[in-house]
Chain A
Amino acid sequence: MLKENISLSQLLTLLINFLLGSAIVVGVGGDAKKDAWIAIAASIMFGFGIMLFYYFLISRVPGKNLYELMEIGFKRPLAIIFSNIYSVYFLYLASRVVRDFGELIASAILPSTPIEIISLTICLLMAYILYLGLEVLGRTSEIFTPYLFGFLFLLTILLFASGNANLHEIKPVLGDGLKPVLNALFPTLIVFPFGELIAFTLILPVVTNFKYCLRVSLLGVAIAGALLLFAMFLMIVTLGADALLRSNFPMLSSAREVSIGNFIERIDALVVFIMMLGILVKGSVFMFAGLKGLEYTFRLPYRYFSLPVAMIVSAYSVLISVNFGDHWQEGLEMVPYFLHLPMQFGLPSLLLIAVLWKKRKKKAKPGTKGMKF
């Protein structure tokens, strides 16, 4: 199998795009209303913790990804079962991301185009990128990240210039106390988007210069968190807490407000396109994580699976929920508790304990053959 490497800067941009991805599309922390930005700020701290945890897990055995670690921790048969569960989990998340995007496009810019077409096209694109490999994904995200920053900057300027941003909208700060903030924080904000960093346990081992990996990952979490925070702040001051809560896609709604000199208007369609890049990266990373599971199970390069798996994701993105409400509810009420918590924290903790135990055992009895570290 071809050895792939991604550079630190590519890891950084992947992290930023991944974390912003669908979080910026659907908006996070809305439960805290005006104080959503505080909730996000707090969640960044947890983001650091989560990133540290995954890094700690991965760095136990250098160069091995989550699935290979499982083999070390649990032996291959069990590892195959777990890795298949993870593949399904990641592919399900990929489907959710694609569905989020499909809903965005279908409700915002192409209302009568079947959502199947949207998810098919974007999945084909992901399949192509993943067929070309993780390096290409890294480079693609590297190229588009400056545009993401540029867009956010531009949007900020435009919103303030057109007088739609009212800074006093964020007052009163913490008017109803800390409770709404905590509600938003646990567990929704922690598992989404930060807990989803579990997918990076498949990417971290292939980063060149592993030495700086932790620093760069934390930097990525910090930048992405800051951008999320800023985006949320921007949405609150333009829309106000009420409209923010009513919007399915708050970022889109705030972009709709822009109107400068009767010329720059309705840039929401453009905003959608920028959001697409985040979605693309996030979906691809999840799909990559799922494909890696298949690679581990079947011992075949993951590229061969990229097209069929992308088509499965495309189909399931349409099939997972009947309508938007269903999709929404599933994402807010079911997924965090029944999927995210066990898959993001339960299993990895178990794995960490197993790996640490195995390592200790090995240290105690040097010379035993078997595990190759």
Chain B
Amino acid sequence: MKKCGVMSAILLAAILLAGCWDQRELGEITVVTGMAVDKGENDKYILTVEGINATELNNRTASGFAPSIVYSAEGNSLAELTYRVNEGMSRHLIYSHMRTLIIGEELAKEGIIDFIDFLERNREIRDDFNILIAREAKGSDVLKVTYQFQKSTSLKLHTQLDTMMKDWGGDPGVRMNDVITAWTAPGRQPVMAAVRIKGDPEAGASSENMMKVTPDALVVLDSLAIFKGDKLEGFLTLEDSRNYLWIQNKIVKTSITAECSENKYMGLRVYDTRTKIKGKLENGKARIKIMIRAEAYIDGTHCNDQFDKAKTYEENGEIAQKQINDMVTKTIEKVQKEYGTDIFGFGEVVLRQDYQNFKKVRNNWDEKFADADIQVDTTLIIRRTGIRTKSFLKEVK
């Protein structure tokens, strides 16, 4: 028995000491927070990664050097490139904290489906990073622009998009798995947020950019990129992007402006909204009914309305209601006419609610979508008006 013990101890020690296979010391790694894929010049892709210089991100240890390092490598498969970038970077790259994937417009137009498989299959990369299109720019350039607070673009964008979505709703909140679901599930086409560089990309790629009050370059959320299959079809405005979210029932809070009388506007803060969609196929024509229910408070008004009567609330509510109805309808019509691609997932709704009929049109749903009969029905209730009921505008001498 003693022999057995000694032998097993030796065996165990040998196995364990040969081990530490997956061990990565913190000193040996660089955390990648952002990744950009562009069309390659010779090969299929150019992969750009942004590795964080953690010392610079920490206020106590920062000393003013560049907050991150951005490096590109060219090749045919992302799976290989993620390790090839070490040709220029010293440490192991850790992709588990990747927050942002930026795809160059040029590549998006040609199709992106090929490399997404790698992102889904890889165990390290999380499934829920932001996936963005760089409008009129290269993805790699977007990654290089520095920023005052989070310093690195990818972290900045991650926070920015999140904040935007919660406060106003310009970011469609699309993560990688949403894109994949849109591709695989019938009756939906993917969308992505699109960003643009405002200013000079060259000047943005230095740490001086962070030190200015008005940075030379800034990455701004620009629009909503819509896809047909895996190919970029076009861009919708930020307003449309918000309306898209509204249809998706993803609005947390938003603000709208409604015309209360001629050339006079009021601002409403919408804080609680639900959207329900009903869809069915009637005689081969799709009928979609969108019901939006919202609650809001008046955040500012140019008009002289006195909010001490229930009636005033109702009147203003109706104005806002109509405004929302128009906005949403316009967005849907635009997509129907110009692109004919069902980014709203109405097909999914029909699939759930009228499966037997949907099965017949499954393969040409986008056509059905283009001439679908869509009806938007909004109910908006104004609950309160800030900390004033009457406006001082009436009292002004």
Note whether A and B form a binding pair: yes
B22, A111: Cβ atoms closer than 8 Å: yes
B181, A108: Cβ atoms closer than 8 Å: no
| Chain B binder among A63-71, A167-175, A197-205, A351-359 | A167-175
Q: CA A275 – CA B304 in complex, angstroms?
A: 64
Contacting residues, chain A, for B19 (C-beta < 8 A): 113, 117
Q: Which of A110, A113, A120, A257 contacts B127 (CB under 8 A)?
A: A257
In the complex, the number of residue pairs spanning A and B with C-beta atoms less than 8 Å apart equals 46
User: Is A297 interfacial (CB-CB < 8 Å)?
Assistant: no
A266, B181: Cβ atoms closer than 8 Å: no
User: Is A240 interfacial (CB-CB < 8 Å)?
Assistant: yes
With A113-B21, A113-B22, A243-B181 in contact, is A257–B123 under 8 Å at CB? Answer: no
Q: Which of B123, B127, B181, B352 contacts A242 (CB under 8 A)?
A: B181
Contacting residues, chain B, for A246 (C-beta < 8 A): 120
With A240-B181, A256-B127 in contact, is A114–B351 under 8 Å at CB? Answer: no
A110, B21: Cβ atoms closer than 8 Å: yes
Fill in one digit per residue for B34-58: 1 if any A CB lies within 8 Å of its CB, else 0: 0000000000000000000000000
User: Is A330 interfacial (CB-CB < 8 Å)?
Assistant: no
User: Is A140 interfacial (CB-CB < 8 Å)?
Assistant: no
Nearest residue in B to A112 (C-beta to C-beta)? Answer: B21
Q: CA A117 – CA B180 in complex, angstroms?
A: 35
Nearest residue in B to A116 (C-beta to C-beta)? Answer: B15
A residues 321-345 near B (Cβ < 8 Å) are none
Q: Return A155 CB to nearest CB of chain B, in Å.
A: 16
Q: Which of B15, B177, B351 contacts A172 (CB under 8 A)?
A: B351
Q: Return A66 CB to nearest CB of chain B, in Å.
A: 32
Q: Return A264 CB to nearest CB of chain B, in Å.
A: 13
Q: CA A117 – CA B184 in complex, angstroms?
A: 37
B128, A257: Cβ atoms closer than 8 Å: yes
Q: CA A273 – CA B180 in complex, angstroms?
A: 28
User: Is B96 interfacial (CB-CB < 8 Å)?
Assistant: yes
Q: Return B346 CB to nearest CB of chain A, in Å.
A: 14
A112, B22: Cβ atoms closer than 8 Å: yes
User: Is A5 interfacial (CB-CB < 8 Å)?
Assistant: no
Fill in one digit per residue for A98-110: 1 if any B CB lies within 8 Å of its CB, else 0: 0000000001111
User: Is B126 interfacial (CB-CB < 8 Å)?
Assistant: yes
Nearest residue in B to A240 (C-beta to C-beta)? Answer: B181
Nearest residue in A to B123 (C-beta to C-beta)? Answer: A108
Q: Return A318 CB to nearest CB of chain B, in Å.
A: 14
With A110-B21, A117-B19, A242-B185 in contact, is A266–B126 under 8 Å at CB? Answer: yes
User: Is A183 interfacial (CB-CB < 8 Å)?
Assistant: no
A172, B126: Cβ atoms closer than 8 Å: no
A172, B127: Cβ atoms closer than 8 Å: no
Q: Return A166 CB to nearest CB of chain B, in Å.
A: 10
B352, A117: Cβ atoms closer than 8 Å: no
Q: Return B21 CB to nearest CB of chain A, in Å.
A: 4
User: Is B115 interfacial (CB-CB < 8 Å)?
Assistant: no
Nearest residue in B to A175 (C-beta to C-beta)? Answer: B355
Contacting residues, chain B, for A59 (C-beta < 8 A): none
Q: CA A242 – CA B181 in complex, angstroms?
A: 8
Q: CA A266 – CA B94 in complex, angstroms?
A: 14
User: Is A259 interfacial (CB-CB < 8 Å)?
Assistant: yes
Q: CA A108 – CA B123 in complex, angstroms?
A: 6
A243, B180: Cβ atoms closer than 8 Å: yes
Contacting residues, chain B, for A168 (C-beta < 8 A): 352
Nearest residue in B to A241 (C-beta to C-beta)? Answer: B185
Residues of A within 8 A of B (CB): 107-114, 117, 120, 168, 171-172, 175, 240, 242-243, 246, 253, 256-257, 259, 265-266
Known: A114-B21, A175-B355. 19 other contacts (CB 8 A): A107-B123, A109-B22, A111-B22, A111-B123, A112-B22, A113-B21, A113-B22, A171-B352, A171-B353, A172-B353, A172-B355, A240-B185, A242-B181, A243-B177, A243-B180, A256-B126, A257-B127, A265-B126, A266-B126
Q: Would you mind naming 11 contact pairs between A and B with Cβ atoms under 8 Å apart?
A: A108-B123, A109-B123, A110-B22, A112-B22, A113-B21, A113-B22, A120-B15, A172-B353, A172-B355, A266-B96, A266-B126
